[in-house]
Amino acid sequence: MTGQSQTGAPDGAASPKSTRKAGSGSPVSLPHRHLLGIEGLSPIDILALIDRGDMYADLIQSDTAPPPFSETLRGRTIINLFFENSTRTRVSFELAAKHLGGSVLNINVAGSSVKKGETLLDTATTLNAMHPHILVVRHNCSGAAKLLSQHVDAAVINAGDGRHEHPTQALLDALTIKRRVGRIQGLKIAICGDIANSRVARSNIHLLATLGAEIRLVCPTTLLPAAIDMMGVQVFTDLEDGIRDADIVMMLRLQTERMEGTETPSQREYFNLFGLDRTKLMRAAPNALIMHPGPMNRGVEIDSATADDVEKSLIRTQVEIGVAARMACLEALAGASGDHR
């Protein structure tokens, strides 16, 4: 493995923050009018979105100009339709849209007609009549975003559907790694925790493997997904073995809300076996970095000292970079949303 500096960047590589002039380059043009999953993107599409997000991350961090940073979404309406709660993802999309000059409407499903018995397709018909340009959808059922996309004129972004996919999380994770380490190809990345119920894991496995990373899954056998043999990954049921010499250790929470009928140890037992602390982290590469998509269950999959380690933890950086990554995605679909109205 290429040597790394104390910042985590390979020796001789560019600094984590790009020196490219902010605002340069062109918006990404995707072959599809919706962003429903990573599996629908080519390596060229993925790299283009990462590069565009990198440019926006530089722009957000600079003090040269206040937002909005672009007029791409000027005159366009983005609706955040969240059937599952997620303040982090919803606010990230809202900021991303506003940074591009768009108007944002957040629909509180808990107080909407959905709670009164309206179906997803009824909701699609109602929203379509309002002529939004982009719908950002989170739902507890796999395939919900795709179903919605088949019944609306707006472009649809999947913000997480059941156990299926969470494409923008994988894109922001890849961008976070790229900015800190300088590359993804050749890195050893251990994804640890509740793999079976994690849409984040599925999207990251596909994206990071596509870009040349070595993927390891670390979890109890009861939390392995079906068809694991088809994923092209290494599987470990011991945390210390799984993270040995890993460059990135990505922790996932136990999704107890999706675990009906699954046998799992108590939270204390789980932490002893699969929770990350500084002692276990010593098995990883010397400059290993820690990631977590959130929300965290401190003391279950990771302890506070490790999660808050200012040198090794990228968890807060992931949140920051999420806005830039989602700006790239919204911008890429802006043209598609106009072409089909």
The CATH number given to whatever domain includes residue 113 is 3.40.50.1370
* Alpha helix positions (H), 72-198: 87-99, 120-129, 144-149, 167-181
Answer whether residue 21 is part of any domain: no
Cα–Cα distance for residue pair 98/222, rounded to 1 Å: 42
Q: Are residues 46 and 156 in the same domain?
A: yes
**pLDDT of res. 14:** 38
Cα–Cα distance for residue pair 156/162, rounded to 1 Å: 16
Q: Are residues 115 and 57 in the same domain?
A: yes
Dihedral (CA of 242, 227, 258, 158) sign = positive
Answer whether residue 273 is part of any domain: yes
Q: Are residues 162 and 193 in the same domain?
A: no
Residue recorded with tokens 């699609």: 124
Q: How far apart are the first and last CA of the chain?
A: 50
Question: DSSP assignment, residue 122?
Answer: H
Answer whether residue 19 is part of any domain: no
**pLDDT of res. 288:** 99
Per-residue pLDDT reduced to its tens digit, 171-228: 999 999 999 999 999 999 999 999 999 999 999 999 999 999 999 999 999 999 888 8
Residues sharing a CB contact under 8 Å with residue 52, sequence separation 6 or more, in sequence order: 25, 27, 28, 327, 328, 331, 332
Residue recorded with tokens 């976070």: 176
What domain range is 110 assigned to?
A: 38-166+321-339
Q: Are residues 104 and 138 in the same domain?
A: yes
**pLDDT of res. 227:** 80
Q: Are residues 80 and 153 in the same domain?
A: yes
Comparing C-alpha atoms, which of 283, 204, 195 is closest to residue 247?
283
Q: Are residues 134 and 206 in the same domain?
A: no
The amino acid present at 17, given as its one-letter code, is K
- Decide if 287 contacts 2 (C-beta within 8 A): no
Work out how many domains the chain is built from and give that number.
2
**pLDDT of res. 98:** 98
Answer whether residue 23 is part of any domain: no
**pLDDT of res. 1:** 38
- Decide if 195 contacts 224 (C-beta within 8 A): yes
Q: Are residues 128 and 180 in the same domain?
A: no
Q: Are residues 193 and 302 in the same domain?
A: yes
The two beta strands, 214-218 and 234-236, are parallel
Answer whether residue 7 is part of any domain: no
Q: Are residues 258 and 148 in the same domain?
A: no
Q: Are residues 327 and 305 in the same domain?
A: no
Answer whether residue 210 is part of any domain: yes
Q: Are residues 213 and 283 in the same domain?
A: yes
Which tokens in the block code for residue 9? Answer: 């960047």
Cα–Cα distance for residue pair 99/331, rounded to 1 Å: 11
Q: Which helix (H) or strand (E) holds 242?
A: helix 239-242
Q: Are residues 154 and 52 in the same domain?
A: yes
Task: Give every strand in the sheet of 188-192, ordered side by side.
Answer: 234-236, 214-218, 188-192, 248-251, 289-291
Answer whether residue 24 is part of any domain: no
Cα–Cα distance for residue pair 313/310, rounded to 1 Å: 6
Write the CA distances from 6 to 18, 81, 312, integer angstroms: 18, 42, 10
Cα–Cα distance for residue pair 177/182, rounded to 1 Å: 7
Answer whether residue 250 is part of any domain: yes
- Decide if 28 contacts 36 (C-beta within 8 A): no
Bridge partners of 192, per DSSP, are: 218, 251
**pLDDT mean for each 10 residues of the chain (341 residues):** 40 39 69 93 97 96 86 96 93 98 88 66 90 96 95 97 97 99 98 96 97 97 85 95 99 82 79 97 98 96 98 98 98 74 52
- Decide if 195 contacts 167 (C-beta within 8 A): no
Per-residue pLDDT reduced to its tens digit, 89-108: 999 999 999 999 999 999 87
